[in-house]
Structure 1
Amino acid sequence: MSLESAVRGCARMGDERSKEFIYKTCYGYVRAITLRYVKNEFDAEELTNESFIRAFNKIGTFNSEELGDRFEKSFRAWLARIAANISIDFLRAQKQFVALDDVSELEIEHRSVTVAGDLHVEDIMKLLLQLPEIQRTIFNLYEVEGYSHEEVSVLLEIPESTSRTYLTRAKKKLRELYLASTNITAGF
């Protein structure tokens, strides 16, 4: 069974075998997305399962016409949006984010750091988990999921300038954490 045939079977008749195939095939992918937002393994598991429940309920809305060889990539992106939105809803329900005062673009420093070629995904994930929740969430939405600052501000119900500020802080903190983990000193 292919992912495409499973999605079509699930959309047409709610086939349980198709749902099981989709779940097993995409579980790790969706779990990785939810783990980028929450630190707690139990919460990530719950969010992952909730993502699949919502996906199965809305699978008929996934537009799969004329995708051809892009089907799997498109379906995974659709699933990723669902998982990210569920994770954001969960975080929003946990607590309200504190809005910052507007910060001008001139106050935001831009620094570059050369990254070593031996930085692995696991290392990046460990660094991301050390960020404060709001910074990690905005970093994930903007840098990983591809949302704009305007979209982030709507999703998190914060000013656009706050999104920019927290992203800048997240990048700065990640640089500091990375440099500390590699014992590199920078001229900050």
Structure 2
Amino acid sequence: MKGKRALSLESAVRSCAQDGDERSKEFIYKSCYGYVRAITMRYVKNGFDAEELTNESFIRAFGKISMFNSGDLGDRYEKSFRAWLARITVNISIDFLRSQKQLIALDDINESELEQQQVEVSGNLNVEDIMKLLSQLPEIQRTIFNLYEVEGYSHEEVSVLLSIPESTSRTYLTRAKKKLRKLYLASTNITDCNGYV
């Protein structure tokens, strides 16, 4: 590495956007691999599929990297790049689920389900515990939960992304929270005073 300056994520992204520098691509891939892989694992259960989606996300990102534009610098630049990369990864994951027809047909929705549910999570849960609980949700509930609660999409954006009404997005989010609450309480052997277990 003699004679080569050290890369930062910001300098690698800028260099890759300007001339498609292979060293910069490799640096971006290595720097962001775990982040992108974690996103894909929230949408698919199979490790092989997650790996494929991770690699496809990087391929698409490198193809569009010249379109990424941030006036920020340093840490803020890196955060905005990671957010941009996350959007690409989420879109690829959703496209994959659609192609696999894993976003199952929506069943009848009861309007009473739209009431807000409080889900309090103990600080004792670690990431692996949360991932196990999420993996037990039905595909549509897990997808909507991830999009809304984790990725920060609005119900309007979820409805466009999944081609469903906003009310359906809200209902499935409510169902996901109820199911997570039941799973969480069951895993901790806590009896819920609201009768959800």
Q: Counterpart in 2 of 1:160?
A: 166
Unaligned runs of 5+ in 1: none
Q: How much does 1:115 deviate? A: 2.7
Q: 1:113 to 1:46 in 2, by over 3 A?
A: closer
- Please tell me whether the aligned partners of residues 139 and 170 of structure 1 are also in contact (alpha carbons under 8 angstroms): yes
- Please tell me whether the aligned partners of residues 113 and 174 of structure 2 are also in contact (alpha carbons under 8 angstroms): no
Unaligned runs of 5+ in 2: 1-6
Identity of aligned residues (%): 78
Once the two structures are superposed, residues 50-71 of structure 1 have per-residue CA deviations (whole angstroms, 9 ceiling, x without a partner) of 000000000000003x211310
**Is 1:142 matched up with 2:148?**
yes
**Is 1:97 matched up with 2:118?**
no
Counterpart selection for 1:120 from 101, 119, 126 = 126
Q: Counterpart in 1 of 2:4?
A: none
Q: Distance in 2 between matches of 1:114 and 1:91?
A: 29
Q: Distance in 1 between matches of 2:165 and 2:110?
A: 11
Q: Distance in 2 between matches of 1:173 and 1:107?
A: 12
Counterpart selection for 1:68 from 49, 64, 73 = 73
State the 4+ residue runs in structure 1 displaced beyond 6 angstroms.
none
Q: Distance in 2 between matches of 1:113 and 1:102?
A: 21
| Amino acid of the structure 1 residue aligned with 2:61 | A
Q: How much does 1:120 deviate? A: 1.2
Q: Distance in 1 between matches of 2:110 and 2:156?
A: 16
Once the two structures are superposed, residues 6-57 of structure 1 have per-residue CA deviations (whole angstroms, 9 ceiling, x without a partner) of 0011111110000000000000000000000000000000000000000000
Q: Distance in 1 between matches of 2:144 and 2:57?
A: 20
- Please tell me whether the aligned partners of residues 10 and 59 of structure 1 are also in contact (alpha carbons under 8 angstroms): yes
**Is 1:44 matched up with 2:50?**
yes
TM-score by length of 2: 0.90
Q: 1:56 to 1:175 in 2, by over 3 A?
A: same
Q: How much does 1:113 deviate? A: 4.5
Q: 1:132 to 1:102 in 2, by over 3 A?
A: closer
Mapping for residues 13-52 of structure 1, pairs under 5 Å: 13-52=19-58
Q: Distance in 2 between matches of 1:112 and 1:71?
A: 35
- Please tell me whether the aligned partners of residues 99 and 159 of structure 1 are also in contact (alpha carbons under 8 angstroms): no
